[in-house]
Amino acid sequence: MHKFKVSVGDRIFDIANILILTIITLIVLYPLYFVLIASFSDPVLVNSGKVLFAPRGINMEGYEILFHESKIWIGYINSLGYTTGGTLLNIAVTVPCAYALSRKDMKWKRGILLFFIFTMYFHGGLIPDYLLIKQLNLMDTFWSIILPGSVNVYYLLIARTFFAATIPNELLESAKIDGASNTRFLISVVIPLSKALIAVLVLFYALIHWNAWFNASIYLTSQNKWPLQLVLRSILVSVNYTNESFADAESIEYATRLKELVKYGVIIIASVPVLLLYPFIQRYFIKGVMIGSIKG
């Protein structure tokens, strides 16, 4: 077995790459780290720029306020339900539709594709959406949150391009020889070979549902159905005290510090589930799923 000698130039190039990527990684991660340490540091020290790399003046009042709110746990459960149900619906609609549009033998493919693209640039607006949801009797229901965004056209086009570029016709012809139908080919061949695509779509769709709050504020009237983001927004607004709420400057200063703690705590609470999800999906971003799928 021959060993390749690494030249000095290659070593310098590798070291430079490692240093540059390390610096970029630190730049990307530091804002989140700063929010984390600021969420339980003294707001006065944070605002004066004395909290940079380690927490100072530990203060957990912000988290105490947040976690003593029972609405937060209800919001977590609701958001998990909306995110799970909405993402499953998105994948169930996007993947078959994108694969069908990638097939050359599909009738009226161009017209259907143009219809989808048309919706990217022209939209009825908020009032028609509201009237539609109301006429369908979906107000204040689970479906009013997940149905309006059943498919994202941009992600649909990405999936269509993926299928057209990476699923060869030879696989379909071989499957048809073995007696497989189009549905069986999609389930047994296309989907297993598209795990990377599906993982990316799951992550993107889940982020959309997890961060969504505007539709919920319009369509949901019951607070026990609010998603986490809407609950956190209501808590943050309720802590935003005004001068009329307090009689002296000391109380106003305390309320201001409390607001800062709650603000940083809200960011951390809303970000944790996404940060926990990403490591399980990240490996699919770099995995070559088509390797070995075609035998010459």
Question: Residues 101-157: pLDDT tens digits?
Answer: 888 777 888 888 888 888 888 877 888 888 888 898 988 888 988 888 888 888 898
pLDDT per residue over 251-288, tens digit each?
656 666 667 777 777 777 777 777 777 777 666 665 54
| Mean of per-residue pLDDT scores for the chain | 79
Count Cβ atoms below 10 Å from residue 95 Cβ, excluding itself: 20
The yes-or-no verdict on residue 170 having pLDDT over 70 is yes
The answer to whether 90 touches 292, Cβ cutoff 8 Å, is no
For residues 210 and 269, which has the higher predicted lDDT (pLDDT)? 210
pLDDT per residue over 64-83, tens digit each?
777 777 778 888 889 889 99
Find the mean pLDDT for residues 33-60: 76
Q: Which fold has domain 69-239?
A: MetI-like fold (1.10.3720)
The answer to whether 73 touches 89, Cβ cutoff 8 Å, is no
The answer to whether 150 touches 90, Cβ cutoff 8 Å, is yes
pTM of the model: 0.75
Find the mean pLDDT for residues 26-35: 84
The yes-or-no verdict on residue 2 having pLDDT over 70 is no
Residue 295: predicted pLDDT: 41
Q: How far apart are the first and last CA of the chain?
A: 28
The band of 223, judged by pLDDT with boundaries at 50, 70 and 90, is: confident
Q: Looking at the chain, list the stretches that DSSP marks H as alpha helix, in order from N- to C-terminal side.
A: 8-38, 43-47, 61-67, 70-102, 109-121, 126-135, 143-146, 153-166, 169-177, 182-185, 195-211, 214-219, 228-239, 249-282
pLDDT per residue over 187-200, tens digit each?
888 888 888 888 88
The answer to whether 80 touches 270, Cβ cutoff 8 Å, is no
- What are the residue boundaries of the structural domains of the chain, listed by start? 69-239
For residues 220 and 52, which has the higher predicted lDDT (pLDDT)? 220
Alpha-carbon gap, residue 228 to 269, rounded angstroms: 9
The answer to whether 134 touches 222, Cβ cutoff 8 Å, is no
Separation of CA 125 from chain center: 24
The yes-or-no verdict on residue 294 having pLDDT over 50 is no
